[in-house]
Amino acid sequence: MKKVILLRFGEIYLKGKNKGYFERVLLRNIKTALSNIDCIVNKTSGRYIVSDFDDMDYNNIVSKLTKVFGLTSLSVATEFDTSRNNIENFLANFKTNVKTFRVSVKRADKTFNIASNEYEKILGEIVLNANPNLKVKLKEPELELVVEIRENKKTYVLTESINCAGGMPVGTAGKGLVLLSGGIDSPVSAYMMSKRGLELVALHFHSFPYTSLQAKEKVIKLAKILSNYTGHIQLICCPFTEIQEEIHKHCSPEFMITIMRRIMMRISKIVCDKFNAKAIITGESLAQVASQTLESINVTNEAQTTYPVFRPCIGMDKSEIIDISQKIGTFETSILPYEDCCTVFLPKNPVIKPHLNKVKREENKLDVEILIEQAITKLEITEI
């Protein structure tokens, strides 16, 4: 008899011939999440099982596993070899202080030849004998004793399930490049796309010395928090100071942000090529600021059309984005008061509905290609 943790995963994506692939990637991600903890992870039919861990590590294991995308729920369970004797002995010794309960039998092993509902009644009687003050309540009991009789000839008894993050295993949907500022929205976007199975590379533009080293540290910290969900992230820092100085010097101020965002997109395209990412992810939300009007988004999109730009926050209110950032633990770091490169040389009246032709005319005052080339040679990579 031993204590184990049962891990459940979504079924939808496991139909069809990619099943084995999804299962292998998810197993790898589970093992990576638990790599610093002494334990064993195994796969049985339709489940993963964590065993041979120290009780002291239980909370830590649960905290890590609830962040692994692809898992839907987990339960701590008692495992023993399947036999009527073992099951009934275990329940005869089961003590509880609650007032109402039910037994639910899930019989995946059809060679165990008592029908589930019949066995529920037998086991219910046994538990009642051991706990005279207890009453059976089939709907919404205080305690549901689940007895799972599995194909691997093991039985698992459990009493509760903890929800996990859901989604798809990271890596199964390919790789995406997230434009990570120090703000609230982009870490939320990163989380949401990683949840759909994208492995992440992050790109941060900094304007040192206009922006401080602390601003960069903040982004590193955000990437570290995200990595609890996404696994390993390569964080690429790209100098943006010279580009901003050049725009400031040569272009009309109201186009500053539009041109900056177009250059960010072009650099992102090159970084995608280099790091084998196939999509760009941003934290934009429609109409939140001048650069996020439909017109601005169109003009930004026109700067590169090789890769799709995913904006998972596009239809969300700020309060909804904040709720997610609090849930995933990035909020407190995001609101630290360090400046972002977008706040350097900020114009008083940025254009709200930019016209592509006018923007291009302004942009042509710069040697964009050379500026981008120079920035690309100075990329710094931090492994998170």
Nearer to Mg ion by Cβ, of 141 and 183: the residue is 183
181 binds Mg ion (CB under 5 A): yes
Residue 130 has which token pair? Answer: 């051991």
Q: Could you say which residues in the range 310-369 bind Mg ion, by CB under 5 A?
A: 340
Pairwise CA distance, residues 339 & 236, whole Å: 18
* Whole-number Å distance between alpha carbons of 94 and 356: 72
Q: Give the one residue of 29, 75, 186, 296 binding ligand ATP; rule: CB under 6 A.
A: 186
Contact segment (CB under 6 A) with ligand ATP among 102-110, 138-146, 180-188, 352-360 equals: 180-188
291 binds ligand ATP (CB under 6 A): yes
Decide whether 75 or 333 has the Cβ nearer to ligand ATP.
333
Which entry of Mg ion, ligand ATP, none binds 185, CB below 5 to 8 A by partner kind? ligand ATP
**Does 187 interact with Mg ion (rule: CB under 5 A)?**
no
Contacts of 55 (CB under 8 A, 6+ apart): 3
296 binds, among Mg ion, ligand ATP, none (CB under 5 to 8 A by kind): none
Closer CB to ligand ATP, 70 or 239, in the complex: 239
Distances (CA, A) of 80 to 3, 75, 128: 9, 15, 22
Binding pattern to ligand ATP, positions 193-222, x when CB under 6 A?
A: ----------xxx-----------------
Q: Is 183 in the site for ligand ATP (CB under 6 A)?
A: yes
Q: Residue 218: CB partners within 8 Å, gap ≥ 6?
A: 182, 333, 336, 338
Contacts of 294 (CB under 8 A, 6+ apart): 286
DSSP structural state of residue 232? -
- Residues forming beta bridges with residue 76, ordered by sequence position: 5
* Residue from the set 71, 180, 263, 351 that interacts with ligand ATP by CB under 6 A: 180
Single residue of 41, 77, 177, 179 touching ligand ATP by CB under 6 A: 179
55 CB neighbour count, 10 Å cutoff: 7
DSSP string, 241-267: HHHHHHHHHHS-GGGHHHHHHHHHHHH
Residue numbers at the binding site for ligand ATP (CB under 6 A): 179-181, 183-186, 203-205, 282-284, 288-289, 291, 340-342
Residues that bind Mg ion (CB under 5 A): 181, 183, 340
